[in-house]
Amino acid sequence: MQIQENISLKPYNSFGIDTKAKFFANFRDTDELSDLLSYNSKLDTLILGGGSNILLTKDFDGIVLKNEISGIRVLHEDNEYVYVKTGAGENWHNFVLYCIERNWGGVENLSLIPGNVGASPMQNIGAYGVELDDIFWDLQAYHIKEKKVVTFTRSDCEFGYRESVFKKKFKGQFVILDVTFQLRKKPRFNTSYGALEHELIRMGVKELSLKAISDAIINIRSSKLPDPKTIGNAGSFFKNPSISKEQYLMLKSSFENIVGFENIEGTVKLAAGWLIEQCGPSNGISWKGFRRGDAGCYAKQALVLVNYDNAKGKELYDLSEEILQSVKNKFGVTLEREVNII
C-alpha cells in the first residue's frame, strides 16, 4: 500500500481527462481501505472503480482511492440459483464472461459495460432490457465515518432507473466492498429488446445461448458506441427523462416523431438522444456530431459526449450545460446528467 502524490488521473478515467490528484492509492481489502481513510481524515476522498462514469472538471485536492478488491466465489446454491460473491474491484465484463462460461444466467445482457463490479449498484447499471436490480442479492459496504461494514439487501439499495441509495441519501458515505449476485442455473433468455432480436437473426443464431446473446450485444454496442480507448467518453451522458402522459401528448402534437415509451407507472420515458439531436448550438445545426475544440457529441449518438483528444473536463461540462438548456428551451424538458461530475 503506497500513497502517491500529484499524479495524473488521465489513465484512470474513460474520458481521458488530464487532471491531477493530490494523493492517490490502491486498496485490496477492507483493512487497507480503513488505513488509507485514517491517513488524513480531513482530506476529501474519491472512491474510484474503472473511471467510466465520471467527468473530472478540476484537479482533485484530496485522496483518490482506487478499489482493487478482487475475488469471485460461490457462496451457496440451490436447485434454481447460484449465489456469487464478487469483489468490487473485479472488471464488470470479465465477471460477465466468467458467468457465461459457467452457464449462469442473468448478466449476459449487461455484456461489455465498462467499469468495475463495485460501481454497478451505484447507478443500477442497465442495458438491453436488464438492470442490475434483476440479479442483485446483497452487498457489503464500509461506512466511512462509523468505520464498520454494513450489509445492504436489495430493498435497502432503493434501486431506480440509474439510481440507488448510494447516489442519493448515502452519497459519499459508503465504499462498496463486494456484491453478491443471484444467477440462474437454468437460464431464461431475455431478447425482448428489438435491436437484440435483429442482431441474433443477422448472426444466424439457431439455438439461443448465453454466449450468443452476449456476442450479439457486444456486436451492437461496438457498432454504436465509441470505444473509450480510441475516443474518450463515459457512455450516455444524460438519463432518459420521464414526463407525464399529458405533457407527452402535448409534445407529440408539435413533434410527431418524438420517441417515448410508456413506463409502468403511466409516465412516459423520452429518448434523450432524440431530444438532443433535434437541438443544437444555433438554428439548423444539430448537436449530433458537433465539435468545439476537442469536446463534442458523438456522430452516431448525440447522447454520448466525447473527448476527441485533449478536451478539459470543464469544456465538456459547459457543453453539457448548453445541451441541457437547448433541450429545455425547445421541449420544456429538463435533462439530468447520468455521469458523476467531480
Ligand X SMILES: Cc1cc2nc3c(=O)[nH]c(=O)nc-3n(C[C@H](O)[C@H](O)[C@H](O)COP(=O)(O)OP(=O)(O)OC[C@H]3O[C@@H](n4cnc5c(N)ncnc54)[C@H](O)[C@@H]3O)c2cc1C
Catalytic residues, by residue number, are 162, 236, 338
Q: Does 118 bind ligand X (CB under 6 A)?
A: yes
Nearest-10 crossing angle of helices 92-101, 210-224: 150
Paired residues of 74 in beta bridges = 84
Q: Does 88 bind ligand X (CB under 6 A)?
A: yes
Q: Does 48 bind ligand X (CB under 6 A)?
A: yes
Instruction: Please give the Cα distance from 317 to 57 (Å, whole number).
Output: 7
Please report how close the Cβ of residue 245 comes to ligand X at its closest, in angstroms.
Answer: 26
Q: Does 320 bind ligand X (CB under 6 A)?
A: no
Q: Does 64 bind ligand X (CB under 6 A)?
A: no
Q: How many residues bind ligand X (CB under 6 A)?
A: 32
Of 16, 105, 106, 114, the one binding ligand X (CB under 6 A) is: 114
Q: Does 225 bind ligand X (CB under 6 A)?
A: yes
According to DSSP H, which parts of the chain are helical? 30-39, 92-101, 154-157, 194-202, 210-224, 245-254, 272-277, 313-331
Instruction: Please give the Cα distance from 35 to 1 (Å, whole number).
Output: 9
Of 87, 105, 106, 115, the one binding ligand X (CB under 6 A) is: 115
Name the 3-class secondary structure at 64. Answer: strand
Instruction: Give residue 4's identity as a one-letter amino acid code.
Output: Q
120 versus 326: smaller Cβ distance to ligand X: 120
127 versus 276: smaller Cβ distance to ligand X: 127
Q: Does 187 bind ligand X (CB under 6 A)?
A: no
Q: Does 47 bind ligand X (CB under 6 A)?
A: yes
Is the Cβ–Cβ distance between 307 and 231 less than 8 Å? Answer: yes
Burial 314-340 (b: 16+ CB within 10 A, else e): ebbbebbeebbebbeeebebebebbbb
Of 70, 75, 65, 76, which is closest to residue 89 (Cα–Cα)? Answer: 70
Q: Does 233 bind ligand X (CB under 6 A)?
A: yes
162 versus 312: smaller Cβ distance to ligand X: 162
Q: Does 173 bind ligand X (CB under 6 A)?
A: no
Taking CB under 6 A as the binding criterion, the range among 55-63, 79-87, 116-124, 313-321 that sits at the site for ligand X is: 116-124
Q: Establish how many alpha carbons lie within 13 A of residue 188's alpha carbon, considering only the half-sphere containing its beta carbon.
A: 9
Site residues for ligand X per CB under 6 A: 14, 46-54, 67, 88, 113-116, 118-120, 122-123, 125-127, 175-176, 225, 228, 233-235, 340
